[in-house]
Structure 1
Amino acid sequence: MSEVTSALLAGAIVLALVLHLAWQARASRNRASTALAVEQDRIRTVIADAANVSDGTAGVITWEGSWSGLRVQLRTIVDTLATRKLPARWLSISITEPVAVPGTFDMMMRPGSPTTFSNFDHLDHTLPKSSAFPTEAVLRTDRRGVHFPLETIAGHLGIFSEGRAKELLITPKGVRIVWLLAEAERARYGVFRQAEFGDATLDPALIERLLVSVSALRDAINKSERQAA
Structure 2
Amino acid sequence: MATEQAVTLTLAALVVAAVACREVRRSRAERVARDGLFDAVVWMLTDAHVSTGGGRHPVLTGSHDGHPVRAEVVVDSLTLRKLPLLWLVVTVSRPVTVDATVDVLTRPNGTEVFSRNACLAHRLPTPDDFPVPARIAASRAVGLPGPALAALGELASDDRVKEVEAGPAGVRVVYRLAEADQTRYRAGRRVDFGMPTLTPLTLAALLTGLDTLASACATNPTREYIR
Q: TM-score range, shorter-chain basis?
A: 0.7 to 0.9
- In the TM superposition, 1:1-229 aligns within 5 A as 1-2=1-2, 6=5, 8=6, 11-12=9-10, 15-55=13-53, 57-58=54-55, 60-143=57-140, 146-156=141-151, 157-224=153-220
Report the more deviating stretch, 16-25 or 170-179.
16-25
Quick one: structure 1 residues 193 and 131, their matched pair in 2 at CA, closer, same or farther if it must change by over 3 Å? same
Separation in 2, partners of 1:107, 1:65: 25
Identity %: 28
Encode CA deviations 1:166-191: one digit per residue, 9 max, x unaligned: 10011221101111122222222111
Separation in 1, partners of 2:10, 2:120: 57
Deviation at 1:53, TM superposition (A): 3.6
Amino acid at match of 2:49: A
Hey, which bits of structure 1, 4+ residues long, moved more than 4 A? 8-11
Encode CA deviations 1:131-151: one digit per residue, 9 max, x unaligned: 2423411011233xx214152
Separation in 1, partners of 2:9, 2:148: 66
CA contact (8 A) 2:61 2:68 kept: yes
- Root-mean-square deviation (CA), in Å? 2.6
Report the more deviating stretch, 43-52 or 107-116.
43-52
Amino acid at match of 1:42: A
User: Helix, strand or coil: the match of 2:217?
Assistant: helix
TM-score (norm 2): 0.84
User: Helix, strand or coil: the match of 2:155?
Assistant: helix
Separation in 2, partners of 1:150, 1:53: 37
User: Helix, strand or coil: the match of 2:164?
Assistant: strand
Structure 1: gaps spanning 5 or more residues: none
TM-score (norm 1): 0.83
Encode CA deviations 1:34-90: one digit per residue, 9 max, x unaligned: 3244333212131243212433x2264321111111111111222111121111111
Separation in 1, partners of 2:160, 2:205: 13
User: Helix, strand or coil: the match of 1:91?
Assistant: strand
Report the more deviating stretch, 118-127 or 68-77.
118-127
CA contact (8 A) 1:59 1:77 kept: no
Amino acid at match of 1:77: V
Separation in 2, partners of 1:39, 1:198: 11
